[in-house]
């Protein structure tokens, strides 16, 4: 049962990945307020581990901050997509490898103050090449490079401020 009561909802924006609603809400302690909420169908963050002490990161251009960032591979789920299947799909698209094992690690809200996105983390192991004829490819808006690191090196990169992407800095704690 919701703690707040939604009195009305107006869609302010509808995009390819997100939508924004303005909700008139009665909060649990009584007041009525207008809240802007980013709606997102969810995402997956990958912990692709070719070996027990290694992890794959991507170096990716992010337009919003106009920087190349070190990140764990990640992506939005397709409408109705099972998160474990989405993790396997993203691994093939971004890393170029197919996981033999997909293990759920945890689900978190990255920005619950204004967004309903659930971010699911998966450890991917037993990585192998894609099947012959696979058509998986990076999305048109992606520019990324794939790199393999020791887990110790990735932790050092977080501590040194070389990794500034929060989902990645947090994800390193889940390895």
d(CA 30, CA 97): 52
Q: How far is 165 from 59, CA to CA, in rounded Å?
A: 11
- E-strand ranges in the chain read 5-14, 18-26, 32-40, 43-48, 54-62, 67-71, 74-76, 98-108, 119-128, 144-150
Listed residue (93, 115, 140) closest to 42, CA to CA = 115
Residue 122 to residue 108: CA distance in whole angstroms: 12
Q: Is 92 known to be catalytic?
A: no
**Three-class SS of 53-79:** CEEEEEEEEEHHHCEEEEECCEEECCC
Name the catalytic one among 78, 118, 140, 145. Answer: 140
Place of tokens 């809240």: 35
Which residues are catalytic, by number? Answer: 140
């Amino acid at each position: 049962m919701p703690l707040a009561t939604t009195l009305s909802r107006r869609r302010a924006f509808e995009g390819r990945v997100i939508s924004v609603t303005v909700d008139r809400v009665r909060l649990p302690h009584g007041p009525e307020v207008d809240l802007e909420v980013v709606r997102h169908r969810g995402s997956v963050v990958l912990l692709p581990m070719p070996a027990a002490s290694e992890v794959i990161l991507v170096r990716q251009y992010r337009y919003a901050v106009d920087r190349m960032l070190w990140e764990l591979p990640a992506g939005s789920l397709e409408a109705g997509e099972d998160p474990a299947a989405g993790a396997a799909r993203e691994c093939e698209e971004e890393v170029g490898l197919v996981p033999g094992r997909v293990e759920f690690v945890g689900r978190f809200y990255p920005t619950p103050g204004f967004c309903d996105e659930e971010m699911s983390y998966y450890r991917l192991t037993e990585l192998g090449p894609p099947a012959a004829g696979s058509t998986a490819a990076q999305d048109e808006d992606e520019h990324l490079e794939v790199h393999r690191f020791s887990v110790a090196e990735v932790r050092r990169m977080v501590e040194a401020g070389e990794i500034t992407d929060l989902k990645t800095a947090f994800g390193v704690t889940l390895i």
